[in-house]
Structure 1
Protein backbone atom coordinates (compact mmCIF):
# COMPACT_ATOMS: atom_id res chain seq x y z
CA UNK A 1 0.00 0.00 0.00
CA UNK A 2 1.56 3.29 -1.08
CA UNK A 3 -0.99 5.52 0.68
CA UNK A 4 -1.62 4.95 4.38
CA UNK A 5 -4.70 5.99 6.35
CA UNK A 6 -5.13 7.08 9.94
CA UNK A 7 -7.59 4.52 11.36
CA UNK A 8 -9.26 7.15 13.56
CA UNK A 9 -9.54 10.17 11.25
CA UNK A 10 -9.31 8.32 7.89
CA UNK A 11 -6.77 10.93 6.81
CA UNK A 12 -4.56 9.69 3.95
CA UNK A 13 -0.81 10.12 4.36
CA UNK A 14 2.57 9.02 3.06
CA UNK A 15 5.14 7.58 5.44
CA UNK A 16 8.86 8.09 5.11
CA UNK A 17 11.08 4.99 5.08
CA UNK A 18 13.34 4.08 7.99
CA UNK A 19 15.11 5.61 9.79
CA UNK A 20 12.56 8.41 9.39
CA UNK A 21 9.41 6.33 9.88
CA UNK A 22 8.21 8.81 12.52
CA UNK A 23 7.78 11.39 9.74
CA UNK A 24 4.67 11.47 7.56
CA UNK A 25 3.39 13.70 4.76
CA UNK A 26 -0.25 14.74 5.01
CA UNK A 27 -2.68 17.20 3.49
CA UNK A 28 -3.21 20.43 5.42
CA UNK A 29 -5.73 20.01 8.25
CA UNK A 30 -8.61 22.40 8.90
CA UNK A 31 -8.50 21.72 12.63
CA UNK A 32 -4.79 22.57 12.87
CA UNK A 33 -4.61 25.82 10.91
CA UNK A 34 -3.46 27.75 13.99
CA UNK A 35 -0.72 25.28 14.93
CA UNK A 36 0.49 24.89 11.35
CA UNK A 37 0.53 28.65 10.85
CA UNK A 38 2.69 29.09 13.95
CA UNK A 39 5.16 26.45 12.79
CA UNK A 40 5.28 27.79 9.23
CA UNK A 41 5.78 31.38 10.37
CA UNK A 42 8.67 30.34 12.59
CA UNK A 43 10.45 28.39 9.84
CA UNK A 44 9.96 30.92 7.05
CA UNK A 45 11.35 33.77 9.16
CA UNK A 46 14.42 31.78 10.20
CA UNK A 47 17.72 33.03 8.68
CA UNK A 48 18.72 29.41 8.02
CA UNK A 49 15.70 29.03 5.73
CA UNK A 50 14.41 32.21 4.10
CA UNK A 51 17.57 33.21 2.15
CA UNK A 52 17.12 30.11 -0.03
CA UNK A 53 13.41 30.72 -0.69
CA UNK A 54 12.44 33.23 -3.32
CA UNK A 55 8.70 32.61 -3.20
CA UNK A 56 7.35 33.24 0.31
CA UNK A 57 7.15 36.91 1.36
CA UNK A 58 9.55 38.18 3.98
CA UNK A 59 8.86 38.86 6.71
CA UNK A 60 6.39 35.99 6.63
CA UNK A 61 3.28 36.98 8.59
CA UNK A 62 0.64 34.82 10.23
CA UNK A 63 -1.86 36.14 7.68
CA UNK A 64 0.31 34.77 4.88
CA UNK A 65 0.35 31.34 6.49
CA UNK A 66 -3.38 31.24 7.19
CA UNK A 67 -4.26 32.27 3.64
CA UNK A 68 -1.84 29.72 2.16
CA UNK A 69 -3.13 26.85 4.27
CA UNK A 70 -6.79 27.64 3.60
CA UNK A 71 -6.07 27.84 -0.13
CA UNK A 72 -4.34 24.46 -0.14
CA UNK A 73 -7.12 22.85 1.89
CA UNK A 74 -9.64 23.99 -0.70
CA UNK A 75 -7.49 23.00 -3.68
CA UNK A 76 -7.00 19.47 -2.38
CA UNK A 77 -10.43 18.84 -0.87
CA UNK A 78 -11.70 16.76 -3.79
CA UNK A 79 -8.55 14.63 -3.97
CA UNK A 80 -8.59 13.94 -0.23
CA UNK A 81 -12.29 13.05 -0.38
CA UNK A 82 -11.64 10.66 -3.27
CA UNK A 83 -8.89 8.92 -1.33
CA UNK A 84 -11.05 8.61 1.77
CA UNK A 85 -13.87 7.17 -0.31
CA UNK A 86 -11.41 4.72 -1.87
CA UNK A 87 -10.30 3.65 1.61
CA UNK A 88 -13.81 3.30 3.04
CA UNK A 89 -15.16 1.31 0.10
CA UNK A 90 -12.18 -0.98 -0.40
CA UNK A 91 -13.41 -3.76 1.95
CA UNK A 92 -16.65 -4.10 -0.04
CA UNK A 93 -14.92 -4.45 -3.41
CA UNK A 94 -13.33 -7.41 -5.08
CA UNK A 95 -9.64 -7.53 -5.97
CA UNK A 96 -10.25 -6.68 -9.62
CA UNK A 97 -12.20 -3.55 -8.73
CA UNK A 98 -9.54 -2.52 -6.21
CA UNK A 99 -6.84 -2.66 -8.88
CA UNK A 100 -9.04 -0.66 -11.25
CA UNK A 101 -9.65 2.02 -8.59
CA UNK A 102 -5.97 2.29 -7.72
CA UNK A 103 -5.14 2.78 -11.40
CA UNK A 104 -7.30 5.90 -11.62
CA UNK A 105 -4.85 8.78 -11.88
CA UNK A 106 -4.88 12.02 -9.93
CA UNK A 107 -3.90 15.41 -11.32
CA UNK A 108 -2.28 16.71 -8.16
CA UNK A 109 -0.42 15.75 -5.01
CA UNK A 110 -2.50 16.51 -1.90
CA UNK A 111 0.40 15.53 0.38
CA UNK A 112 2.23 18.74 1.29
CA UNK A 113 2.79 18.80 5.06
CA UNK A 114 5.88 17.12 6.42
CA UNK A 115 4.99 16.23 10.01
CA UNK A 116 6.69 14.61 12.95
CA UNK A 117 4.25 12.16 14.50
CA UNK A 118 3.15 12.78 18.09
CA UNK A 119 1.86 10.34 20.69
CA UNK A 120 -1.85 10.97 20.04
CA UNK A 121 -3.00 8.35 17.48
CA UNK A 122 -5.51 10.85 16.04
CA UNK A 123 -2.63 13.06 14.90
CA UNK A 124 -3.59 15.95 17.18
CA UNK A 125 -0.02 16.21 18.49
CA UNK A 126 1.73 15.92 15.13
CA UNK A 127 4.10 18.82 14.44
CA UNK A 128 4.49 20.55 11.08
CA UNK A 129 8.20 20.62 10.24
CA UNK A 130 8.15 21.49 6.53
CA UNK A 131 6.40 21.45 3.19
CA UNK A 132 6.87 19.75 -0.15
CA UNK A 133 4.78 20.42 -3.25
CA UNK A 134 4.40 18.93 -6.72
CA UNK A 135 2.89 20.89 -9.63
CA UNK A 136 3.12 21.10 -13.40
CA UNK A 137 6.41 22.53 -14.62
CA UNK A 138 6.52 26.11 -15.91
CA UNK A 139 9.67 25.90 -18.09
CA UNK A 140 11.23 28.96 -16.51
CA UNK A 141 14.50 28.36 -18.36
CA UNK A 142 12.76 29.67 -21.49
CA UNK A 143 12.93 33.43 -22.07
CA UNK A 144 10.36 35.30 -20.00
CA UNK A 145 7.33 36.81 -21.73
CA UNK A 146 8.20 35.01 -24.97
CA UNK A 147 5.74 33.25 -27.26
CA UNK A 148 7.83 30.09 -26.91
CA UNK A 149 7.28 30.08 -23.16
CA UNK A 150 3.56 30.69 -23.51
CA UNK A 151 3.30 27.85 -26.01
CA UNK A 152 5.06 25.17 -23.95
CA UNK A 153 3.32 26.24 -20.73
CA UNK A 154 -0.08 26.02 -22.40
CA UNK A 155 0.72 22.61 -23.89
CA UNK A 156 1.90 21.19 -20.55
CA UNK A 157 -1.12 22.63 -18.74
CA UNK A 158 -3.62 21.24 -21.25
CA UNK A 159 -2.39 17.65 -21.18
CA UNK A 160 -5.05 15.48 -19.50
CA UNK A 161 -4.62 13.98 -16.05
CA UNK A 162 -2.39 10.92 -16.14
CA UNK A 163 -0.79 11.77 -19.49
CA UNK A 164 2.74 10.40 -19.65
CA UNK A 165 4.12 13.55 -21.30
CA UNK A 166 3.25 15.95 -18.47
CA UNK A 167 6.37 17.56 -17.01
CA UNK A 168 6.15 18.07 -13.25
CA UNK A 169 8.25 20.00 -10.76
CA UNK A 170 8.85 19.99 -7.04
CA UNK A 171 7.83 23.38 -5.70
CA UNK A 172 4.94 25.81 -5.84
CA UNK A 173 3.88 28.70 -8.06
CA UNK A 174 5.19 32.16 -7.23
CA UNK A 175 5.18 35.46 -9.08
CA UNK A 176 8.32 36.92 -10.56
CA UNK A 177 7.98 39.95 -12.82
CA UNK A 178 4.77 39.56 -14.84
CA UNK A 179 4.88 35.78 -15.22
CA UNK A 180 4.35 32.78 -12.96
CA UNK A 181 7.21 30.38 -12.42
CA UNK A 182 7.48 27.16 -10.43
CA UNK A 183 10.54 27.02 -8.23
CA UNK A 184 11.82 24.03 -6.33
CA UNK A 185 13.37 26.21 -3.66
CA UNK A 186 9.96 27.08 -2.23
CA UNK A 187 9.94 23.74 -0.37
CA UNK A 188 11.42 23.94 3.10
CA UNK A 189 12.25 22.06 6.28
CA UNK A 190 12.48 23.41 9.81
CA UNK A 191 16.12 24.04 10.83
CA UNK A 192 15.53 21.83 13.88
CA UNK A 193 15.32 18.90 11.47
CA UNK A 194 18.11 19.75 9.03
CA UNK A 195 20.87 17.24 8.40
CA UNK A 196 18.78 14.14 9.17
CA UNK A 197 17.96 13.04 5.63
CA UNK A 198 14.28 13.91 6.06
CA UNK A 199 13.82 15.99 2.91
CA UNK A 200 15.64 13.42 0.78
CA UNK A 201 13.29 10.71 2.01
CA UNK A 202 10.27 13.00 1.66
CA UNK A 203 11.07 13.53 -2.02
CA UNK A 204 11.57 9.78 -2.37
CA UNK A 205 8.19 9.05 -0.78
CA UNK A 206 6.30 11.57 -2.92
CA UNK A 207 7.85 10.20 -6.11
CA UNK A 208 7.72 6.49 -5.33
CA UNK A 209 4.49 6.23 -3.35
CA UNK A 210 2.34 8.83 -5.06
CA UNK A 211 3.58 10.59 -8.20
CA UNK A 212 4.59 7.50 -10.16
CA UNK A 213 1.75 5.08 -9.26
CA UNK A 214 -1.10 7.58 -8.78
CA UNK A 215 -0.24 10.42 -11.19
CA UNK A 216 1.58 8.40 -13.87
CA UNK A 217 4.53 10.77 -13.56
CA UNK A 218 7.35 10.17 -16.03
CA UNK A 219 9.04 13.58 -16.24
CA UNK A 220 10.16 15.66 -13.26
CA UNK A 221 12.39 18.69 -12.92
CA UNK A 222 13.47 20.90 -10.06
CA UNK A 223 15.87 23.67 -9.15
CA UNK A 224 17.93 25.05 -6.31
CA UNK A 225 19.84 28.24 -5.65
CA UNK A 226 23.57 28.00 -6.26
CA UNK A 227 25.22 27.48 -2.89
CA UNK A 228 22.34 25.56 -1.33
CA UNK A 229 24.30 22.39 -0.68
CA UNK A 230 21.47 20.74 1.23
CA UNK A 231 19.04 20.98 -1.68
CA UNK A 232 21.71 19.82 -4.10
CA UNK A 233 22.21 16.66 -2.04
CA UNK A 234 18.46 16.02 -1.89
CA UNK A 235 18.30 15.98 -5.68
CA UNK A 236 21.41 13.88 -6.12
CA UNK A 237 20.18 11.26 -3.64
CA UNK A 238 16.96 10.95 -5.64
CA UNK A 239 18.63 10.36 -9.01
CA UNK A 240 18.43 13.89 -10.43
CA UNK A 241 21.11 15.18 -12.77
CA UNK A 242 22.09 18.75 -13.56
CA UNK A 243 20.87 20.03 -16.93
CA UNK A 244 21.78 23.70 -16.72
CA UNK A 245 22.78 26.72 -14.62
CA UNK A 246 21.07 30.08 -15.05
CA UNK A 247 23.27 32.90 -13.81
CA UNK A 248 21.62 35.77 -11.91
CA UNK A 249 18.20 34.34 -12.72
CA UNK A 250 16.58 35.39 -9.44
CA UNK A 251 16.24 39.16 -8.99
CA UNK A 252 17.55 41.15 -6.06
CA UNK A 253 15.52 41.02 -2.87
CA UNK A 254 16.11 44.10 -0.75
CA UNK A 255 13.90 42.88 2.11
CA UNK A 256 16.12 39.84 2.52
CA UNK A 257 19.29 41.81 1.74
CA UNK A 258 20.00 39.44 -1.14
CA UNK A 259 21.50 40.24 -4.51
CA UNK A 260 20.80 38.39 -7.73
CA UNK A 261 21.10 34.63 -7.39
CA UNK A 262 21.76 31.86 -9.88
CA UNK A 263 19.78 28.63 -10.05
CA UNK A 264 20.62 25.08 -11.09
CA UNK A 265 18.06 23.06 -13.07
CA UNK A 266 17.89 19.35 -12.22
CA UNK A 267 16.15 16.54 -14.09
CA UNK A 268 14.93 13.25 -12.61
CA UNK A 269 16.34 10.11 -14.24
CA UNK A 270 13.88 7.61 -12.81
CA UNK A 271 13.39 5.45 -9.73
CA UNK A 272 16.51 3.95 -8.22
Structure 2
Protein backbone atom coordinates (compact mmCIF):
# COMPACT_ATOMS: atom_id res chain seq x y z
CA UNK A 1 0.00 0.00 0.00
CA UNK A 2 1.38 3.40 -0.95
CA UNK A 3 2.01 5.81 1.88
CA UNK A 4 -0.64 8.54 2.20
CA UNK A 5 2.19 10.95 2.86
CA UNK A 6 4.19 10.34 -0.33
CA UNK A 7 4.43 13.42 -2.52
CA UNK A 8 6.28 14.18 -5.72
CA UNK A 9 6.68 17.85 -4.86
CA UNK A 10 10.25 19.04 -4.36
CA UNK A 11 10.09 20.88 -1.05
CA UNK A 12 12.99 23.30 -1.61
CA UNK A 13 10.85 26.12 -0.28
CA UNK A 14 8.83 24.00 2.09
CA UNK A 15 7.68 24.95 5.56
CA UNK A 16 9.82 23.40 8.31
CA UNK A 17 8.38 19.89 8.19
CA UNK A 18 10.60 16.84 8.31
CA UNK A 19 9.78 13.42 6.83
CA UNK A 20 10.40 10.17 8.64
CA UNK A 21 12.99 8.09 6.80
CA UNK A 22 11.08 4.83 7.26
CA UNK A 23 7.43 5.86 6.97
CA UNK A 24 7.64 9.19 5.10
CA UNK A 25 5.28 10.57 7.74
CA UNK A 26 5.63 14.36 8.09
CA UNK A 27 6.59 15.69 11.49
CA UNK A 28 7.57 18.89 13.21
CA UNK A 29 10.26 18.41 15.88
CA UNK A 30 9.70 20.22 19.15
CA UNK A 31 11.96 23.05 20.18
CA UNK A 32 15.21 22.01 21.91
CA UNK A 33 15.95 20.09 24.03
CA UNK A 34 12.95 17.88 23.14
CA UNK A 35 13.18 17.54 19.37
CA UNK A 36 13.55 15.51 17.26
CA UNK A 37 12.82 12.72 19.75
CA UNK A 38 9.53 14.40 20.65
CA UNK A 39 7.59 15.58 17.63
CA UNK A 40 4.23 16.57 16.21
CA UNK A 41 2.71 14.35 13.52
CA UNK A 42 -0.67 14.00 11.79
CA UNK A 43 -3.30 11.86 13.51
CA UNK A 44 -3.15 8.17 12.58
CA UNK A 45 -6.02 5.94 11.63
CA UNK A 46 -3.87 3.35 9.90
CA UNK A 47 -0.25 2.33 9.58
CA UNK A 48 1.64 5.02 7.60
CA UNK A 49 4.12 2.52 6.11
CA UNK A 50 5.03 3.24 2.48
CA UNK A 51 4.83 -0.50 1.63
CA UNK A 52 3.88 -3.70 3.48
CA UNK A 53 6.80 -5.39 5.19
CA UNK A 54 7.02 -9.13 5.74
CA UNK A 55 9.09 -8.68 8.89
CA UNK A 56 6.68 -8.20 11.83
CA UNK A 57 9.56 -7.00 13.98
CA UNK A 58 10.47 -4.13 11.67
CA UNK A 59 10.13 -0.86 13.63
CA UNK A 60 7.60 0.68 11.26
CA UNK A 61 5.43 -2.46 11.46
CA UNK A 62 4.94 -1.78 15.16
CA UNK A 63 3.29 1.59 14.57
CA UNK A 64 -0.30 1.67 15.79
CA UNK A 65 -3.07 4.07 14.96
CA UNK A 66 -4.46 6.47 17.56
CA UNK A 67 -7.83 4.87 18.32
CA UNK A 68 -6.84 3.01 21.48
CA UNK A 69 -4.75 5.92 22.76
CA UNK A 70 -7.60 8.39 22.32
CA UNK A 71 -10.10 6.13 24.08
CA UNK A 72 -7.69 5.52 26.94
CA UNK A 73 -6.75 9.15 27.51
CA UNK A 74 -10.18 10.73 27.04
CA UNK A 75 -11.62 8.43 29.69
CA UNK A 76 -9.05 9.53 32.29
CA UNK A 77 -10.40 12.01 34.83
CA UNK A 78 -7.01 13.75 34.80
CA UNK A 79 -7.80 14.74 31.21
CA UNK A 80 -11.56 14.93 30.67
CA UNK A 81 -12.11 17.16 33.71
CA UNK A 82 -10.21 19.92 31.92
CA UNK A 83 -11.83 19.57 28.48
CA UNK A 84 -15.20 20.91 27.35
CA UNK A 85 -15.55 19.14 24.01
CA UNK A 86 -15.22 15.33 23.90
CA UNK A 87 -18.21 13.23 25.01
CA UNK A 88 -18.30 10.91 27.98
CA UNK A 89 -17.86 8.05 27.86
CA UNK A 90 -15.40 8.35 24.99
CA UNK A 91 -15.93 5.34 22.73
CA UNK A 92 -13.92 3.58 20.04
CA UNK A 93 -16.57 4.48 17.47
CA UNK A 94 -16.28 8.16 18.33
CA UNK A 95 -12.49 7.98 18.16
CA UNK A 96 -12.57 6.46 14.68
CA UNK A 97 -15.03 9.05 13.41
CA UNK A 98 -12.99 11.87 14.93
CA UNK A 99 -9.79 10.52 13.40
CA UNK A 100 -11.38 10.26 9.94
CA UNK A 101 -12.23 13.96 10.06
CA UNK A 102 -8.86 15.02 11.42
CA UNK A 103 -6.98 12.85 8.90
CA UNK A 104 -8.95 14.44 6.06
CA UNK A 105 -8.11 17.91 7.37
CA UNK A 106 -4.45 17.03 7.76
CA UNK A 107 -4.14 15.60 4.25
CA UNK A 108 -5.89 18.64 2.79
CA UNK A 109 -3.29 20.87 4.45
CA UNK A 110 -0.46 18.69 3.16
CA UNK A 111 -1.93 18.97 -0.34
CA UNK A 112 -2.23 22.75 0.06
CA UNK A 113 1.39 22.88 1.20
CA UNK A 114 2.51 20.97 -1.89
CA UNK A 115 0.56 23.25 -4.23
CA UNK A 116 1.70 26.46 -2.59
CA UNK A 117 5.36 25.49 -2.26
CA UNK A 118 5.44 24.39 -5.89
CA UNK A 119 4.02 27.74 -7.04
CA UNK A 120 6.33 29.65 -4.71
CA UNK A 121 9.35 27.71 -5.96
CA UNK A 122 8.45 28.57 -9.56
CA UNK A 123 8.13 32.27 -8.81
CA UNK A 124 11.48 32.41 -7.04
CA UNK A 125 13.24 30.46 -9.78
CA UNK A 126 11.75 32.86 -12.33
CA UNK A 127 13.44 35.71 -10.49
CA UNK A 128 10.21 37.49 -9.66
CA UNK A 129 11.59 39.18 -6.57
CA UNK A 130 15.03 39.89 -8.03
CA UNK A 131 14.63 40.91 -11.65
CA UNK A 132 11.37 42.84 -11.47
CA UNK A 133 9.76 45.36 -9.18
CA UNK A 134 7.04 42.89 -8.27
CA UNK A 135 7.74 41.24 -4.90
CA UNK A 136 7.45 37.48 -4.65
CA UNK A 137 4.15 36.62 -2.94
CA UNK A 138 4.69 35.35 0.57
CA UNK A 139 4.18 31.65 1.16
CA UNK A 140 1.19 31.44 3.51
CA UNK A 141 -0.72 28.30 4.51
CA UNK A 142 -4.14 28.13 6.13
CA UNK A 143 -3.34 25.69 8.93
CA UNK A 144 -0.99 23.15 10.44
CA UNK A 145 -1.18 19.48 9.33
CA UNK A 146 0.53 18.09 12.45
CA UNK A 147 -0.94 18.03 15.96
CA UNK A 148 -0.36 14.70 17.75
CA UNK A 149 2.54 14.71 20.22
CA UNK A 150 4.67 11.58 20.08
CA UNK A 151 7.96 10.43 21.58
CA UNK A 152 10.18 8.38 19.29
CA UNK A 153 11.87 5.47 21.06
CA UNK A 154 15.24 3.90 20.31
CA UNK A 155 13.66 0.84 18.65
CA UNK A 156 11.88 2.98 16.07
CA UNK A 157 8.44 2.85 17.67
CA UNK A 158 6.82 5.82 19.32
CA UNK A 159 4.52 6.64 22.22
CA UNK A 160 1.36 8.76 22.00
CA UNK A 161 1.75 11.65 24.45
CA UNK A 162 -1.13 13.96 23.61
CA UNK A 163 -2.69 16.39 21.19
CA UNK A 164 -2.22 20.10 20.53
CA UNK A 165 -4.00 21.83 17.68
CA UNK A 166 -4.24 25.35 16.35
CA UNK A 167 -7.50 26.62 14.83
CA UNK A 168 -9.47 29.80 14.33
CA UNK A 169 -11.17 30.77 17.56
CA UNK A 170 -14.84 30.11 18.27
CA UNK A 171 -14.75 32.59 21.19
CA UNK A 172 -16.16 30.32 23.92
CA UNK A 173 -15.78 33.12 26.45
CA UNK A 174 -18.59 35.15 24.82
CA UNK A 175 -21.75 34.36 26.78
CA UNK A 176 -24.19 35.82 24.25
CA UNK A 177 -24.67 33.02 21.71
CA UNK A 178 -25.66 35.33 18.85
CA UNK A 179 -22.61 37.51 19.40
CA UNK A 180 -20.40 34.43 19.68
CA UNK A 181 -21.76 33.13 16.38
CA UNK A 182 -21.27 36.52 14.74
CA UNK A 183 -17.65 36.78 15.89
CA UNK A 184 -16.91 33.20 14.88
CA UNK A 185 -18.43 33.67 11.43
CA UNK A 186 -16.48 36.90 10.98
CA UNK A 187 -13.26 35.18 12.07
CA UNK A 188 -13.77 32.53 9.40
CA UNK A 189 -14.44 35.03 6.59
CA UNK A 190 -10.89 36.40 6.65
CA UNK A 191 -8.52 35.10 3.99
CA UNK A 192 -5.56 33.07 5.21
CA UNK A 193 -2.74 35.28 6.39
CA UNK A 194 -5.06 38.10 7.44
CA UNK A 195 -3.69 39.63 10.67
CA UNK A 196 -7.23 40.03 12.01
CA UNK A 197 -7.67 36.26 12.38
CA UNK A 198 -7.76 35.16 16.02
CA UNK A 199 -6.35 31.68 16.61
CA UNK A 200 -6.86 29.42 19.59
CA UNK A 201 -5.32 26.23 20.97
CA UNK A 202 -6.87 22.99 22.14
CA UNK A 203 -4.72 20.42 23.90
CA UNK A 204 -4.25 17.57 26.32
CA UNK A 205 -1.21 15.68 27.55
CA UNK A 206 -0.87 12.17 28.94
CA UNK A 207 -0.45 12.21 32.74
CA UNK A 208 2.69 10.12 32.23
CA UNK A 209 4.28 13.11 30.46
CA UNK A 210 3.33 15.80 32.98
CA UNK A 211 6.04 17.87 34.61
CA UNK A 212 8.55 17.61 31.76
CA UNK A 213 7.79 20.91 30.03
CA UNK A 214 6.57 19.11 26.91
CA UNK A 215 3.35 21.05 26.39
CA UNK A 216 5.09 24.39 26.91
CA UNK A 217 7.62 23.41 24.24
CA UNK A 218 4.81 22.22 21.96
CA UNK A 219 2.99 25.55 22.10
CA UNK A 220 6.28 27.40 21.61
CA UNK A 221 7.08 25.27 18.56
CA UNK A 222 3.66 25.74 16.98
CA UNK A 223 3.77 29.50 17.42
CA UNK A 224 7.40 30.19 16.54
CA UNK A 225 8.05 27.51 13.92
CA UNK A 226 4.67 27.34 12.21
CA UNK A 227 1.87 29.76 13.10
CA UNK A 228 3.84 33.00 12.76
CA UNK A 229 6.20 32.21 9.85
CA UNK A 230 3.97 29.83 7.86
CA UNK A 231 0.39 30.96 8.60
CA UNK A 232 1.21 34.64 9.21
CA UNK A 233 -0.73 34.33 12.47
CA UNK A 234 -0.60 37.37 14.73
CA UNK A 235 -3.37 37.02 17.33
CA UNK A 236 -3.82 34.13 19.74
CA UNK A 237 -6.25 33.63 22.61
CA UNK A 238 -7.10 30.67 24.77
CA UNK A 239 -9.76 29.97 27.36
CA UNK A 240 -8.95 27.58 30.20
CA UNK A 241 -11.21 26.46 33.01
CA UNK A 242 -10.23 28.10 36.28
CA UNK A 243 -9.16 24.81 37.85
CA UNK A 244 -6.93 23.95 34.87
CA UNK A 245 -3.78 25.38 36.41
CA UNK A 246 -1.45 23.34 34.21
CA UNK A 247 -2.69 24.82 30.93
CA UNK A 248 -2.64 28.32 32.38
CA UNK A 249 1.03 27.89 33.29
CA UNK A 250 1.79 26.66 29.76
CA UNK A 251 0.42 29.81 28.19
CA UNK A 252 1.93 32.18 30.72
CA UNK A 253 5.32 30.63 29.93
CA UNK A 254 4.65 31.35 26.26
CA UNK A 255 4.02 35.05 26.66
CA UNK A 256 0.23 35.04 27.03
CA UNK A 257 -1.39 37.50 29.42
CA UNK A 258 -4.56 37.05 31.46
CA UNK A 259 -7.16 39.45 30.04
CA UNK A 260 -10.47 38.28 31.50
CA UNK A 261 -12.03 35.98 34.10
CA UNK A 262 -15.58 34.65 33.88
CA UNK A 263 -17.37 33.01 36.78
CA UNK A 264 -19.65 29.98 36.31
CA UNK A 265 -19.08 29.95 32.55
CA UNK A 266 -18.98 26.16 32.13
CA UNK A 267 -21.80 23.86 33.26
CA UNK A 268 -19.89 20.79 34.44
CA UNK A 269 -23.01 18.75 35.13
CA UNK A 270 -24.31 19.34 31.59
CA UNK A 271 -20.99 18.08 30.22
CA UNK A 272 -21.11 15.02 32.46
CA UNK A 273 -17.95 16.10 34.26
CA UNK A 274 -19.07 16.75 37.80
CA UNK A 275 -21.40 19.05 39.66
CA UNK A 276 -21.81 22.79 39.58
CA UNK A 277 -20.09 25.22 37.25
CA UNK A 278 -16.52 26.25 36.52
CA UNK A 279 -15.03 29.59 35.67
CA UNK A 280 -13.06 30.45 32.55
CA UNK A 281 -9.84 32.41 32.29
CA UNK A 282 -9.01 34.09 29.00
CA UNK A 283 -5.40 34.56 27.93
CA UNK A 284 -4.20 36.49 24.90
CA UNK A 285 -0.98 37.10 22.99
CA UNK A 286 -0.18 39.21 19.94
CA UNK A 287 3.03 38.70 18.00
CA UNK A 288 4.94 40.19 15.11
CA UNK A 289 7.08 38.45 12.56
CA UNK A 290 10.82 39.23 12.52
CA UNK A 291 10.27 41.32 9.37
CA UNK A 292 7.71 43.50 11.18
CA UNK A 293 9.87 44.22 14.22
Normalising by the smaller structure, the TM-score range is 0.7 to 0.9
Higher Cα Rg, which structure: 2
1:3 aligns with 2:20: no
Partner of 2:27: 13
Match of 2:173 among 141, 146, 149: 141
Cα distance in 1, alignment partners of residues 104 and 188 from structure 2:
20
Match of 2:145 among 110, 120, 126: 110
| Corresponding pairs, count | 253
Greater RCO between the two (CA within 8 Å, min separation 6)?
1
Give CA deviations for 1:174-227 in whole Å, capped at 9, x if unaligned: xxxxxxxxxxxxx10011101100000000111111111111000000011112
Does the residue aligned with 1:204 lie in a helix, a strand or coil?
A: helix
Structure 1 window deviating more from structure 2 (44-53 vs 253-262): it is: 253-262
TM-score (norm 2): 0.76
CA separation of 1:135 and 1:43: change in aligned 2, threshold 3 A:
same
1:165 aligns with 2:196: yes
1:151 aligns with 2:208: no
**Contact 1:41 1:60 survives alignment (8 Å):** yes
Partner of 2:41: 26
* Structure 1 vs Structure 2 CA RMSD: 3.0
Q: Which runs of 5+ in 2 are unaligned?
A: 1-14, 49-63, 130-134
Higher-helix-fraction structure: 1
1:219 aligns with 2:235: yes
Does the residue aligned with 1:74 lie in a helix, a strand or coil?
A: helix
**Contact 1:242 1:266 survives alignment (8 Å):** yes
Q: Which runs of 5+ in 1 are unaligned?
A: 172-186
Give CA deviations for 1:227-250 in whole Å, capped at 9, x if unaligned: 222111100110000010111101
What are the within-5 Å matches in structure 2 for residues 36-51 of structure 1?
A: 36-51=66-81
Cα distance in 2, alignment partners of residues 248 and 145 from structure 1:
16
Could you list the runs of 4 or more consecutive aligned residues of structure 1 that deviate by over 6 angstroms after TM superposition? 85-97, 99-102
Match of 2:65 among 35, 45, 56: 35
Partner of 2:159: 127
TM-score (norm 1): 0.82
